[in-house]
Chains A and B, each alone.
Chain A
Amino acid sequence: MIEKCGELRNTALLLGVFVIAGCGGGDGGGDAAGAADAAPAESPVDAATAGNVAGMVTFSGTAPMMAEINMGSEATCAAKHSTTPTEEGFVGGENGGLANVFVYVKEGLESLSFPTPTSAVVLNQDGCTYRPHVLGAQVGQDITLRNSDGLLHNINASPTENRGFNVSQPVNMDTNRSFPVAEVMVPVRCDVHGWMNSYIGVVDHPYFAVSSPDGSVSLDGLPPGDYVIEAWHEQLGTMTSNVTVTTGGTTEISFEFTEAMAGSPVPMGEPIDLLHPDGHQAVDH
Chain B
Amino acid sequence: MPVLQNVSPNGLSKKLRSSPQCVVLVALLLGVSLLAVPGDVIAQVDGQVVYNQWCAGCHGEDGAGAGPAANTMLPRPRDFTLALYQVRTTSSGELPTDADMLKVINEGMPGTAMPGWEGVLTEAERLALVDYLKTFSRFFQGDPPTPLDFGRATSGGADAIARGEEVYQMVECWRCHGEQGRGDGESAPTLNDDTGFPIFAADLTENWRFNGGGEVGEIYRVLRTGLDGTPMPTFSDIVDAGVITDEDLWSLAHYVRSLSPEDEPEVREVVTAKLLTDTPLPQTVADVVWEGTERFYVPLSGQIVVQPRWFNPRVDAVWVQAVHDGRELALLVSWGDPSESPDTLWTDFGGQVVTTMGSEDEGAATGSGTADQLVVQFPQELYEGQERPYFLQGDTRRPAYTWTWQSDIAGAFESIARGMGTAARQPDSEQHVRATAQHADGEWKVLFVRPLDTEGAEDLALTAGQAVPMAFQAWDGDNGESGSQGAVSTWYFLVLGQPTPVAVYVAPPVALALTLLFGLLVVRQAQMGSGMWREPDAAARAKRAAKRRQLAGMAVGVIWLGMAFGSYQNSRAGWEAGYADLGFWWAIIGGLLAIAGLGALIGTWIHTRTSK
Contacts and interface: CB of A to CB of B under 8 A. Distances in A.
Contact of B190 (A167, A194, A274, A283): A194
A285 B198 CA distance: 12
Contact of B171 (A166, A170, A275, A284): A170
A273 interface: yes
Interface in A138-189: 151-152, 154-156, 158, 160, 163-171, 173-175
A169 B194 CA distance: 19
Given A163-B94, A170-B172, A275-B10, A191 B231 contact: yes
A18 to B, nearest CB: 37
B237 A168 contact: yes
Given A169-B238, A171-B243, A175-B237, A275 B62 contact: yes
Contacts of B172: 151-152, 170, 192
Nearest to B48: A275
A281 interface: yes
A9 interface: no
Main secondary structure of the interface of A (DSSP, over half): loop
Interface residues of B, number: 47
Interface string B21-55: 00000000000000000000000000000000000
B187 A192 contact: yes
Contact of B231 (A154, A274, A285): A154
A193 interface: yes
Contacts of B137: 271, 273-274
A95 interface: no
B228 A194 contact: no
A239 to B, nearest CB: 26
A173 B232 contact: no
Interface string B200-214: 000000000000000
B241 interface: yes
Contact of A166 (B66, B79, B197, B232): B232
Nearest to A193: B187
A191 B62 CA distance: 29
A175 B192 CA distance: 23
A174 B10 CA distance: 43
A154 B233 contact: yes
B238 A170 contact: yes
Most buried by B among A158, A273, A275: A275
Interface in B54-78: 62-66
B81 A152 contact: no
A75 to B, nearest CB: 13
A168 B138 CA distance: 28
Given A167-B92, A168-B237, A274-B10, A283 B138 contact: no
A2 interface: no
A166 B193 CA distance: 12
B196 A165 contact: no
Nearest to A285: B196
B195 interface: yes
A280 interface: yes
Interface string B162-203: 000000001110011000000000110011101111000000
Interface in B76-102: 79, 81-82, 84, 92-95
Interface string A258-281: 000000000000011111100011
B138 A170 contact: no
A191 B10 contact: no
A101 B376 CA distance: 58
B426 interface: no
Contact of A283 (B64, B135, B136, B176): B64
A73 interface: yes
Given A276-B62, A283-B64, A156 B237 contact: no
A152 B197 CA distance: 23
Residue of B66, B93, B136 with most partner-chain A CB within 10 A: B93
Given A165-B92, A194-B187, A275-B63, A175 B241 contact: yes
A168 B186 contact: no
Contacts of B356: 285
Interface string A226-248: 00000000000000000000000
28 contacts: A152-B171, A152-B172, A154-B231, A156-B233, A158-B194, A160-B82, A163-B95, A164-B92, A165-B92, A165-B93, A166-B93, A166-B230, A166-B232, A168-B226, A168-B233, A169-B238, A170-B172, A173-B237, A175-B237, A191-B187, A192-B187, A272-B138, A273-B136, A273-B138, A275-B10, A281-B64, A284-B66, A285-B197
Q: Which 9 pairs between the two chains have the least Cβ-Cβ distance?
A: A194-B190, A191-B231, A152-B172, A168-B233, A165-B93, A154-B233, A170-B171, A166-B233, A163-B93
Interface of B: 8, 10, 62-66, 79, 81-82, 84, 92-95, 135-139, 170-172, 175-176, 186-187, 190-192, 194-197, 226, 228, 230-235, 237-238, 241, 243, 356
